[in-house]
Every structure is written in structure tokens, then in C-alpha cells.
Amino acid sequence: MTAMARRVVVGCFDPRIMEEMYNRAREGVPAGKVTFILPPGGSININARWPDLEMAICDLGADELWSFAHEDCLGCKKTYGEDRKDYHLKHLRGLETKVRKTFVTITQIRLFYMSRISDEEWVVEEVNSTVLLTA
């Protein structure tokens, strides 16, 4: 990551995952360089917040995208009637594909899945990391 890099983070607005997601997403980034977009269900419902993502990338200059999904997600339950990891992985990868096709300025995409140990403790698994070369 360059000194001027900015990161946009897509995640769920569930308060149980905030501390772990925020701490991880801020690693190695100067203060004021991370924008969080937090629709219910995260990448499952990102289309409702797509203009916010466009603004973070095009206007604020984010060149990295990180996205977090989590177990026991109410947004997933409301959308699909149940919460399954494969639903989250499908949407995380769909977000990656759409961002890669839409925004040529993105240089890195990292996708994470958070498994619940308790409401206060989560295990974070990186499910994909892509470094993109720009012209």
C-alpha cells in the first residue's frame, strides 16, 4: 500500500462484529484513510449502497477494497430465510467481480468471513486476496 492509499470497507452493520472488523480494517492505514460502508448483510445488500461505494472510490480516491461477511447474519436471514456461509461467499465474490469490472483504480481486494465464537469473539478467515496491476 502506498502512503496515499485509501481503503473502502464493505461490511455488515451488526454491532457484534464492529470492533473486530474496524481493528482489522484499519491495520497499516493512516488515520482518516478508511471509509466504511455498512448495509445490513454487507455485500449481500451492497446494491442499495452502490452510490456510496462509487463515491468512496471515485471521489475520495480509495484504491483498496476490503469486504467482511459474518456468520449468524440477520441481513442474510432476511434476504434468504436462513444464514449460510455459501450465500456470503457468493456475494463477496460477486462484489469482487463487479468492482474489478467497474473501477480500474482499485489495486487490492481482500475478502473475509467471520465465524462466531461468541457475540464478543470472532475468528476472521481471509477467503480471497487479489492484488490488481494498474496501467
Q: What is the pLDDT of residues 100-131, one digit of tens each?
A: 999 999 999 999 999 999 988 999 999 987 77
Set of cell numbers at residue 121? 469473539
Q: Is the pLDDT of residue 2 over 50?
A: no
Rounded to whole angstroms, the Cα distance separating 15 from 33 reads: 22
Which domains does the chain show, CATH number per domain? 11-131 (3.40.1050.10)
Label residue 3 by pLDDT band (50, 70, 90). Answer: very low
pTM (2 d.p.): 0.91
CA distances in angstroms from 9 to 12, 78, 79, 80, 90, listed in the order given = 10, 22, 21, 23, 17
Q: How far apart are CA 2 and CA 92, in angstroms?
A: 25
